Structure 1
Amino acid sequence: MTLLISNIPCWLIPLLVGVICGILGYLLGRLLGGGSDETTKQIDVDVYKNRIAKLQADLEACKSSKKSTFSGGNSSREVAGAPIDNKAVSSFAAGAVSVSSNGVTAVAFDAAAAKAVIGKKVNQDDLTVVEGIGPKIKELFHNHDVTTWAGLADCTVEKCQEILSSGGKRFEIHKPGTWPEQAKMAALGQWQKLKAWQDVLDGGK
């Protein structure tokens, strides 16, 4: 052993001792530091648990607040974003804009403009404005829930024919081919266009 050490250069011995000490120090540090890492991890877990508990408490408080806001029957409609009564909207005003299922937007009715073009008083949604529709046919359509120009514009020609046929022989002889289009013009307030077209129609055909 003495012979082996004597063959090692003097400068190499301190280097080997330093390397060995470094390795031992590293291993001891890992061994002793393991406990502190576990402690840190446990602290982090506790912190996150506390945050989750706080968020859950906030969520419950928010739910309770919403329940108290929306309680009280009709008062819930006063809250922003609450459901709107469609019937109330549709009856908001006689000239309110309405949209039928086929996209016809009825503009505000202008009785004076209609009278100036048609040449007689026109009542809003009077189906007899349509060339070919008289009081009896109007009543028949009303019985089938077609009571407005937009509603008639929403009907197909086939649907109009079905309604006429339901009234018997005296109704089914009529030809409703242009009625939905005429009703659309009335709903849109296109009185000049409607009058010009009716001037060339023969009983609505």
Structure 2
Amino acid sequence: MMLLQLNPFSKPVAISEILILLIIAAFVGWLIARLITNGRIRVLRESISERKIELANCRSQHREFTTAQQPLVGKASKTVYPTAIPLDPAKADDFKIIEGIGPKIEELINKEGIYTYEQLSNTNPIRISNILKNAGPRFQMHDPSSWPQQAKLANEKRWQELQILKDKLIAGRQ
């Protein structure tokens, strides 16, 4: 009988009704979210078990392929550069006119038997990089990719074109 006497318009009763409805709505929302999450977890666990089976199959096939094949090539041969013909240092060209080459680098290149613009223009930039790399970390920052091109222009006495190319370069880099 007490419930019938409660006035729904009074503040305490209205607040308690609102709180009860909010608690019920929160519980129903939590229950629905739990059901949805459990369904997703079940689907993901099934997917994981399928992927584990696929992974095991791939690993077994990988073992079959790797154990059955023999290596086709033994070891890579070392790159052999042609030996330099000794030249009189008086006949050596001045490499310092090439952008990016200073006196120390010129000395290193001369020690490798490269004395003329023609020899430098026919030298692979990778070989020049190896010369610089073997000389130490101080020389590794230089980029010799344009040096053969500059040496070719100098060998052909095309000084204006060489100067135009040097103006485009910054410390020997394009």
Q: Which range, TM-score by smaller chain? A: 0.3 to 0.5
Q: Which has the larger radius of gyration?
A: 1
State the TM-score, normalizing by the size of structure 2: 0.47
